[in-house]
């Protein structure tokens, strides 16, 4: 960790919602916490039994409660992604990143000095570039 890293308590948190299938969100957030201790920047949301309107209202409520403007989701076709796109419709102060991985979130929690949506866009590029392939199948 760099020596100029701001202590966790001084950062505004949480800064983003993580939503997806099964235990995807809780699993990724627990991994972020284990690696960085900064899991408290992320709010994991699971939506197993909910219909689309309920997913949308749950995500909207979580965003409002925590005053966050970033949503990370697991899959472009997923219900959380669909609901998030509806929430973001007509808003220019929030961003959705779909199809995330652990490197995306790691970059996000360490990006400081940017707004959360700017940090999320940066993290998306990092996550995209972080998939590497080794071995057979070429």
Partner 1 sequence: MTLELYRIDDRLIHGQVVVGWGQPLDIGFIVLVDDLVAEAEWEQDLYRMGVPPEMDVYFHSASDAIAAMPKYLAESRRGILLTGDIATMQRLVDGGVVHNVNIGGIHSKPGRVQRLRYVFLSPDEESQLRALATNGVKVSAQDLPGARDVSLPDLLAGSEL
Contact positions vs partner 1 (CB under 8 A): 21, 48-52, 54, 75-79, 81-82, 85-86, 89
Cβ atoms of residues 121 and 72 within 8 Å: no
Q: Which residue has the tokens 């925590």?
A: 66
What's the min distance (Å) between Cβ of 55 and partner 1? Answer: 8
When the beta carbons of 100 and 119 are compared against partner 1, the nearer one is 100
What's the min distance (Å) between Cβ of 89 and partner 1? Answer: 7
How many whole angstroms separate alpha carbon 76 and alpha carbon 83? 11
What's the min distance (Å) between Cβ of 51 and partner 1? Answer: 4
What's the min distance (Å) between Cβ of 63 and partner 1? Answer: 18
When the beta carbons of 46 and 66 are compared against partner 1, the nearer one is 46
H or E, element range at 130: none
When the beta carbons of 8 and 57 are compared against partner 1, the nearer one is 57
Angle between helices 102-110 and 116-129 in degrees, nearest 10: 140
CA nearest neighbour of 105 among 7, 27, 3: 27
Cβ atoms of residues 126 and 107 within 8 Å: yes
When the beta carbons of 26 and 82 are compared against partner 1, the nearer one is 82
């Amino acid at each position: 960790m760099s020596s100029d890293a701001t202590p966790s308590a001084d950062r505004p948190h949480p800064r983003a919602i993580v939503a997806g299938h099964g235990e995807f969100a809780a699993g990724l957030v627990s991994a972020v916490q284990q690696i960085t201790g900064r899991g408290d920047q992320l709010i994991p949301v699971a939506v197993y039994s909910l219909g689309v309107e309920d997913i949308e209202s749950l995500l909207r409520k979580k965003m409002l409660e925590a005053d966050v403007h970033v949503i990370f989701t697991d899959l472009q076709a997923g219900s959380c992604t669909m609901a998030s796109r509806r929430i973001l419709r007509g808003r220019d102060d929030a961003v959705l990143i779909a199809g995330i991985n652990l490197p995306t979130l790691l970059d996000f929690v360490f990006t400081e000095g940017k707004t959360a949506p700017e940090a999320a866009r940066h993290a998306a590029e990092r996550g995209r570039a972080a998939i590497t392939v080794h071995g057979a199948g070429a």
